[in-house]
Amino acid sequence: MKSKLLLTAFVPFGGESLNPAQEAVKRVRAEAHKLYLPVEYENAAKIALNAIESLKPRAVICVGQAGGRTGVTPEKYAVNLRNSASPDSAGRLCRNEKIAPDGPDRLETDFGAEKIVSALVKAGFKAYLSESAGTYVCNDVLYSVLWALRGTGVPAGFIHLPYCNEQLSNHPGAFGMDVETMARALEKAIETVENSLDQIP
Ligand code: PCA
């Protein structure tokens, strides 16, 4: 039997009562292991890597919130850096820290970010390619997963989602998307990744 895909999201952070990534992933109907991570440097990545070790997924897609984005944004890169003016949910503040002391400055996602964007746009979703997953916990998880999976042939990547409509009362004027729409977009992204895997002989 083929192994399943691992789909991760994050719990709410930064004073929000929900995280669109978690809400959308909950509603994804594709067959996948789902995992909700704390917004904590290092710890979130460890939890994801432990799950990869035990579940041996055929692909990994991590999902997070990027308030201010105006569509669904597959990430092209992760950088070897933890740096934010905001502490994580455990109160840890990281300034200019490397994630992997022996890792390269930048890693490229290999889940087909461009292909996913094309498939999403073709299907009518608002989506565009992102060239920066930031330097906070989402990037930490993405970099750690890519670094751990290097050379294994298991593709991995990250998709940032904009605020969901329910969050807009705290963010007047910001772009918002419907959670169900984001869930359908994630299903389309999963389908695109799965189709590419099926093409590998
Ligand atoms: N977004 C944050 C961390 C958790 C999340 O959903 C980020 O972009 O780093």
Quote the ligand 1 centre to 19 CA distance (angstroms).
9
Query: Which tokens belong to 73?
Result: 């944004």
The confidence score (pLDDT) of residue 162 equals 98
* Structural domain span for residue 170: 5-198
Distance CA 12, CA 26 (A): 13
pLDDT surpassing 90 at residue 135 = yes
Q: Which atom of ligand 1 is nearest to the CA of 9?
A: 6
Domain count within the chain: 1
Q: Helix, strand, coil % (nearest 5) of the chain?
A: 35, 20, 45
- Band of pLDDT at residue 199, cut at 50, 70 and 90: confident
Clarify whether 160 is annotated catalytic.
Answer: yes
Annotated catalytic residue 31 = no
- The string of pLDDT tens digits covering residues 161-193 is 999 999 999 999 999 999 999 999 999 999 999
Residue 122 CA to ligand 1 centre (angstroms) = 27
Strand pairing category for 106-108 and 77-79: antiparallel
Distance of CA 81 to the CA centre of its chain: 16
64-120 pLDDT, tens digit per residue, is 999 999 999 999 999 999 999 999 999 999 999 999 999 999 999 999 999 999 999
Residue 150's closest CA among 117, 88, 107?
A: 107
For ligand 1, atom 7, which residue shows the shortest CA distance? Answer: 138
For ligand 1, residues with CB inside 6 Å are 10, 13, 19, 21, 39, 64-66, 134, 136-138
Adjacent-strand bridge partners of 142? none
**How many helices and strands (H and E) does the chain possess?**
5, 9
Angle between helices 113-122 and 179-198 (to 10 degrees): 130
Q: Measured in angstroms, how far is the CA atom of residue 64 from the centroid of ligand 1?
A: 5
138 is catalytic: yes
Q: Which atom of ligand 1 is nearest to the CA of 136?
A: 9
Q: Using one digit for the tens of pLDDT, what is the confidence trace for 24-78? A: 999 999 999 999 999 999 999 999 999 999 999 999 999 999 999 999 999 999 9
What average pLDDT does the structure give for the chain?
97
Element (H, E) at 6: strand 5-10
**Residue 20 C-alpha to ligand 1 middle, in angstroms?**
10
Per DSSP, the three-state class of 84 is coil
Which pairing describes strands 77-79 and 73-74: parallel, antiparallel, or unpaired? Answer: unpaired
Asked if residue 158 lies in contact with residue 64, where contact means CB atoms within 8 angstroms, the answer is yes
DSSP per-residue codes, 131-149: S---SSHHHHHHHHHHHHH
Q: Whose CA is nearest to atom 1 of ligand 1?
A: 65
Half-sphere exposure of residue 75, counting CA atoms within 13 Å on the CB side? 31
- Give the residue whose CA is nearest to atom 8 of ligand 1: 138
Q: Any idea what DSSP says for residue 49?
A: H
**Model confidence pLDDT, tens digit, residues 36-50:** 999 999 999 999 999
Q: What is the CATH number of the domain that holds 188?
A: 3.40.630.20
